[in-house]
Amino acid sequence: MTTFDDRENAYENKFAHDAELQFKADARCNKMLGEWAAGLLGKSGPEAAAYIGEVVTSDFEEAGHEDVYRKLSADLDGKADEPTIRAKMAECMLEARRQVLEEN
């Protein structure tokens, strides 16, 4: 292999690793958001676990986090406004990234 090939492979490996870490952080963030929202909705036990799963899977509708925001906004109508939800989303993402990086 040439030096160029080595560099290309290293870049591809880094890209794949970074994408995997981002996926894990997104999923963890969504789980945290689901736990927070379930608490606001008064859900616990299996009902809360099912709701958390709904929040996590809502992220698969489109790229980005707006699909999760729409789900939370609709479900938390009257319990949390847009600035509160968006602030919690940012807070959870920071915490999720920190946790994922600590694990790796």
- 4 compared with 3, residue with greater pLDDT: 3
Read off the pLDDT of residues 76-100 as tens digits, 9 standing for 90 and up. Answer: 998 999 999 999 999 999 999 999 9
3-103 is a CATH 1.10.790.20 domain: yes
pLDDT of residue 1: 60
- For the chain, state the CA radius of gyration: 17
Domain ranges (residues) in the chain: 3-103
Amino acid identity, position 85:
I
Q: What is the mean pLDDT of residues 23-44?
A: 96
pLDDT of residue 96: 96
pLDDT at 4 over 80: no
Rounded to 5 degrees, φ, ψ at 18 are -65, -40
Number of H helices, E strands in the chain: 4, 0
- Whole-prediction pTM: 0.85
Cα 101 to Cα 2: distance, rounded to the nearest angstrom: 32
pLDDT band at 12 (very low <50, low <70, confident <90, very high): confident
Picking from 37-41, 44-48, 60-64, 72-76, which range would have the lowest pLDDT averaged per residue?
Answer: 60-64
